[in-house]
Amino acid sequence: MKYEIVHTNTFQYETKVDQSLNTIRLKPLTDEVQRLLVYRADITPASLTREYTDVWGNQVETFFIPEKHDSLEVKTTSVVSVQRSPFIHELRYSGRMREIFHTGLFRQHYLAYLNETDYTLLDKKQVKEAERVLGEMDNPVAYALEVMKYVYETFTYSGEATNVDTQARQSFDLKQGVCQDLAHVMIGILRAARIPARYVSGYLYVGEDSALKGDAATHAWVEVMVPGIGWIGLDPTNNVEALANHIRVGTGRDYADVSPLQGVYRGGGGTMEVSVSVKLLEQPGSL
């Protein structure tokens, strides 16, 4: 599947600001299942970016605008090819995989994705509430699928009760939130069961006549580490495995590690508008 993604962030400031320093994580990843074919960042007022790879393997760009300005637009255009087939429901959890999962070396290697953060930490009573439904964790693959289903069936997808700073504990009590909140809750439950889990930020192609949710802006889902296999994507917002219509931009411990745009400036407040368009360019079998 080949997609074109146009992502526009527009800031309108109340008064002129200056010395604006910004960081963006909007460049899609390239790996064994996804390939970035085209990428361009257009910034107004014009500014050149400097790029580096962060500790999580994400592509990060920074730019500085020294002159006064009353608005800022960051528009990125990407063309991405994704090839990913259904996998986790067919996976047999072998005895060797179980052995690896319980080794100290495995836990140590993925410690960053086992430790809780402010965004993902759940209270013990909240974990117990989930475990009463989920039962004990024996097979991490099957358990991860059950956690995804639990979050999907228990929580209402809604953007009215939460914001970008909402933590998993708050979302859990509200039993609602957007894809970011549902991903944080799922990660919190998985890490409480000692299953390495990471946050994924990206885009979702919905297309026509689809029941999938989460394509209005950036989307978020979860990846779990399966011993001997690698990272497998699960989308609790839609209760589906993350496949060819999930386009990954960044991964990390939580939203803070993959925030699409961060910045500091000198001046007054302002507002931001976000527009995301995901267009299918080519699919298997097309000419």
CATH number at residue 61: 2.60.40.2250
Phi-psi region of 285 (alpha: psi -120 to 50; beta: other; left: phi over 0): left
pLDDT band at 214 (very low <50, low <70, confident <90, very high): low
Higher pLDDT, 180 or 14: 180
Residue 43 has phi, psi (to 5 degrees) of -120, 130
Q: What average pLDDT does the segment 259-280 reach?
A: 88
Per-residue b/e over 237-260, b at no fewer than 16 CB within 10 Å?
Answer: bbebbbbbbbbbbbbbbbbebbbb
What pLDDT does 287 receive?
38
The range of the structural domain enclosing residue 74 comes to 2-82+260-282
Q: What is the distance between the alpha carbons of residues 154 and 6, in angstroms, rounded to a whole number?
A: 33
The answer to whether residues 49 and 170 belong to one domain is no
Quick one: 220 exposed, middle or buried, by C-beta within 10 A (0-12, 13-18, 19+)?
A: buried
Per-residue b/e over 61-97, b at no fewer than 16 CB within 10 Å?
Answer: bebebeeebeebebbbbbbbbbebeeebeeeebeeeb
Let me know if residue 188 belongs to a domain.
yes
The answer to whether residues 106 and 141 belong to one domain is yes
Q: What is the distance between the alpha carbons of residues 205 and 219, in angstroms, rounded to a whole number?
A: 10
Question: Given a cut of 80, is residue 209 above it in pLDDT?
Answer: no
pLDDT band at 118 (very low <50, low <70, confident <90, very high): very high
The percentage of the chain sitting over the pLDDT mark of 70, rounded to a whole number, equals: 96
The answer to whether residues 71 and 108 belong to one domain is no
Question: Given a cut of 60, is residue 22 above it in pLDDT?
Answer: yes
Question: Given a cut of 70, is residue 188 above it in pLDDT?
Answer: yes
- The tokens describing 136, both together, are 């004990």
Let me know if residue 287 belongs to a domain.
no
Q: What average pLDDT does the segment 109-127 reach?
A: 97
Residue entry with tokens 């475990």: 131
Q: Please give the tally of structural domains in the chain.
A: 2
Let me know if residue 272 belongs to a domain.
yes
The answer to whether residues 110 and 190 belong to one domain is yes
The answer to whether residues 77 and 92 belong to one domain is no
Q: How far is CA 242 from the centre of its chain?
A: 11
Q: What is the distance between the alpha carbons of residues 26 and 60, in angstroms, rounded to a whole number?
A: 8
Cα Rg of the chain, angstroms: 20
Residue 54 makes CB contacts below 8 A (sequence gap 6+) with 60, 257
Q: What average pLDDT does the segment 58-75 reach?
A: 94
What pLDDT does 212 receive?
77
| DSSP state string for 69-129 | EEEEEEEEEEEEEE-----GGG----HHHHHHHTSHHHHHHTGGGTS--TTT---HHHHHH
pLDDT band at 265 (very low <50, low <70, confident <90, very high): confident
The answer to whether residues 131 and 235 belong to one domain is yes
The answer to whether residues 136 and 223 belong to one domain is yes
Let me know if residue 71 belongs to a domain.
yes
Stated length of the chain? 287
**Could you tell me if 103 and 70 are in contact, meaning their C-beta atoms sit under 8 angstroms apart?**
no
Question: Given a cut of 80, is residue 210 above it in pLDDT?
Answer: no
The answer to whether residues 253 and 264 belong to one domain is no
What pLDDT does 64 receive?
94
Higher pLDDT, 275 or 216: 275
The answer to whether residues 186 and 212 belong to one domain is yes
The answer to whether residues 266 and 253 belong to one domain is no
Q: What is the distance between the alpha carbons of residues 278 and 78, in angstroms, rounded to a whole number?
A: 10
Question: Given a cut of 90, is residue 80 above it in pLDDT?
Answer: yes
Let me know if residue 235 belongs to a domain.
yes
The answer to whether residues 121 and 192 belong to one domain is yes
Let me know if residue 155 belongs to a domain.
yes
Question: Given a cut of 50, is residue 126 above it in pLDDT?
Answer: yes
The answer to whether residues 147 and 230 belong to one domain is yes
What angle separates helix 179-192 from helix 124-134, to the nearest 10 degrees?
80
**Tally of CB atoms within 10 A around 33:** 17
Which CATH number do you get for residue 162? Answer: 3.10.620.30
